[in-house]
Amino acid sequence: MSEEVKCLIIGSGPAGYTAAIYASRADLKPVLYQGLQPGGQLTISTEVENFPGYPEGVQGPQMMEDLKKQAVRFGTDDRFGMITEVDLSSRPFKAIADDGNQISAKTIIIATGASAKWLGLESENKFNGFGVSACATCDGFFYKGHDVAVIGGGDTACEEALYLSKLCNKVFLVHRRDELRASKALQHNIFKTKNIIIEWNHVLKEITGDKTVNGVTLENVNNKEIKSIPVEGVFIAIGHNPNSELFKGQLELTDSGYIKTKPDSTKTSVDGVFAAGDVQDNVFRQAVTAAGSGCMAAIEAEKFLMQNEN
Ligand code: NAP
């Protein structure tokens, strides 16, 4: 099948669905491909307490379901599937989906987000899915009543640790420095949670076990002392990489792979291609800022179409 669309949106997190709400209301009849993780990173998070408009907080998956419904209500063509190839060398742009569908798009909004980073240890790879995870809400249940370790000191690591503290016996939060990067509110919760033990100034050297995990080996970064802690699960929460692989060589990227956008804009290095959310933001990376940039991308796409439609 092949089709022509005014606006193709790639990605289904807060940026993608907000772009879709605005683009559909502006009659751009957007087609949205959800990508590898429908609903984006918030579908694997728990309580979202800082998105405006939810005074009691909201579960991440619920918020994404609401955003999707809102986009579909205004006519977004929301599709399960991935865009596997793009050609941005001339307009209309070309994109191919994993079902073979060939799309010719007048504008593209990229909202492909970011994915969890791994430490790169051999043992981390060996036990991935068998005691090693990057998602407490997905896998925490398996460690009910057991001891686990969380690696990292940012918001993600603290949220994961707090979530696990409700299910697990002990949670060891392993951080390479002597202060957390996470927000003060999260730090406060961490410090007052009795079964979270912080291993300051330690890095993970190895995950041990036979078929499944039975412990972690940590190194003190100051005196290089090694110690082992028995745990059944290890949650890696050390940050994210932008999902920009598809656009390498076609759009300008930063050294760390984020899509470059013009100041105060979602315009990329190619006219008619816009980027919103975590794939272009290595500073704020919040659901609300992603949603805001999704809105900007749709408005900019609409303006671009008005100026270039004929
Ligand atoms: P992050 O802020 O980049 O934090 C990553 C953490 O992992 C840091 O503590 C870092 O240590 C540590 N780390 C990185 N590489 C490491 C390595 N190789 N070995 C050991 N430790 C390593 O990432 P994030 O926590 O995923 O958060 C990403 C963004 O999303 C942030 O802007 C955050 O505010 C936002 N976020 C917000 C919420 C919320 O508002 N509810 C929830 C989740 C995420 P150092 O501190 O020493 O650098």
Instruction: Assess whether the C-beta atom of 278 lies below 6 angstroms from ligand 1.
Output: no
SS3 225: coil
Structure-token pair, residue 278: 């975590």
How far is residue 38's CA from residue 41's CA, in Å, rounded to a whole number? 9
CATH superfamily of 118-236: FAD/NAD(P)-binding domain (3.50.50.60)
Q: Is residue 238 within 6 Å of ligand 1 at its C-beta?
A: yes
Question: Which pLDDT tens digits describe the chain residue by residue (310 residues)?
Answer: 899 999 999 999 999 999 999 999 999 999 999 999 899 988 876 678 889 999 999 988 999 999 999 999 999 999 999 999 999 999 999 999 999 999 999 999 999 999 889 999 999 999 988 899 988 877 899 999 999 999 999 998 999 999 999 999 999 999 999 999 999 999 999 999 999 999 999 999 999 999 999 999 999 999 999 999 999 999 999 988 999 999 999 999 999 999 999 999 999 999 999 999 999 998 888 899 999 999 999 999 999 999 997 5
From the alpha carbon of 117, which atom of ligand 1 is closest? 15
Query: Residue 109 phi/psi, 5° resolution?
Result: -110, 120
* Entry pTM: 0.81
Known active-site residue 158: no
Q: What is the CATH number of domain 2-115+240-308?
A: 3.50.50.60
Is the fold of 2-115+240-308 the same as that of 118-236?
Answer: yes
Residue 7 is a catalytic residue: no
Q: Is 242 in the pocket of ligand 1 (CB under 6 A)?
A: no
| H or E element in which residue 71 lies | helix 60-73
Domain positions in the chain: 2-115+240-308, 118-236
